[in-house]
Amino acid sequence: KNEVEQSPQNLTAQEGEFITINCSYSVGISALHWLQQHPGGGIVSLFMLSSGKKKHGRLIATINIQEKHSSLHITASHPRDSAVYICAVSERGTGNQFYFGTGTSLTVIP
Amino acid sequence: DAGVTQSPTHLIKTRGQQVTLRCSPKSGHDTVSWYQQALGQGPQFIFQYYEEEERQRGNFPDRFSGHQFPNYSSELNVNALLLGDSALYLCASSWGSIYSGYTFGSGTRLTVV
């Protein structure tokens, strides 16, 4: 059983396109996280959400707690956005344990 | 201000051997969590250390053990290595609850041959 499901698994886009990555989860959460992982392996935190919407530059993250669904949007995509985007949730009541999705591999072509 | 530091960055071991991976948390962080990420998969939680004790553990066998030192740094030990232990091992540090923020290291790539 996967507590976190992401779609799509792989995504190829032309530079400038609007991109959406989706995440659904099955547990009660205290927070949802969007992470970016580059080929070297290091993970960078993009957003931590517990409700509503957050924006940082060209990145927008939304969450619908009732539907247990979150989306990560990238506007005006650029080749440097190419990376793996991972959705993770921290389950309510278990403290600090993350459940991770399998990631969405994004390639933006110039 | 250094972030999370993991060592070594890459490691090749033979099946049956033992390995120790190290993690130094971000300055000011007192909690260290370890994750295993197989190729093409999301990270899986191994365990978390706080105040030198294992606070939570994921679904990993006893071959995986750890330790946290008084300076909050941590080690992950894996005994009797299997080919399936080949993965990227990530360390994340935080202060108390993750809700106050966390930082991931760049990981140690372990290959078991």
Residue pLDDT, tens place only, B38-91 = 988 889 989 999 989 998 888 999 999 999 999 999 999 999 999 999 999 999
Contact state of B41 with A102 under an 8 Å Cβ cutoff: yes
CA dihedral A51, B30, B26, B62 (to 10 degrees): -90
- Computed over every residue of chain A, the mean pLDDT equals 91
Contact state of A100 with B43 under an 8 Å Cβ cutoff: yes
How confident is the model over A48-68, as pLDDT tens digits? Answer: 898 999 999 999 999 999 999
pLDDT of residue B99: 58
Mutate to test the interface with A, among B36, B39, B45, B53 (most CBs of A within 10 A): B45
Q: What percent of chain B has pLDDT over 90?
A: 73
- Integer angstrom CA distances of residue B76 from A5, A12, B34, B90: 28, 36, 8, 10
Paired sense of beta strands B31-37 and B19-24, if any: unpaired
A108 part of contact set with chain B, CB < 8 Å: no
Q: How far apart are CA A81 and CA A66, in angstroms?
A: 30
pLDDT of residue A13: 97
* Phi, psi torsion values for A34, nearest 5 degrees: -110, 130
pLDDT of residue B41: 87
pLDDT of residue B97: 61
pLDDT under 50: residue ranges of chain A? none
Contact state of B104 with A102 under an 8 Å Cβ cutoff: no
CB B86 within 8 A of CB B110: yes
Helix (H, G, I), strand (E, B), or coil: what is residue A74?
strand
Sequence-ordered list of residues with C-beta below 8 angstroms from that of A53, at least 6 positions apart, any chain: A60, A61, A62, A63
Sequence-ordered list of residues with C-beta below 8 angstroms from that of A45, at least 6 positions apart, any chain: A33, A34, A35, B102, B103, B104
Closest CA to B78 of B113, B86, B70, B40: B86
Q: How far apart are CA B24 and CA B49, in angstroms?
A: 12
Contact state of A86 with B42 under an 8 Å Cβ cutoff: yes
CB pairs under 8 A between A and B: 64
Contact state of A43 with B44 under an 8 Å Cβ cutoff: no
Mutate to test the interface with B, among A29, A96, A97, A105 (most CBs of B within 10 A): A96
pLDDT of residue A1: 62
Closest CA in chain A for residue B108 = A41
Q: How far apart are CA B23 and CA B71, in angstroms?
A: 11
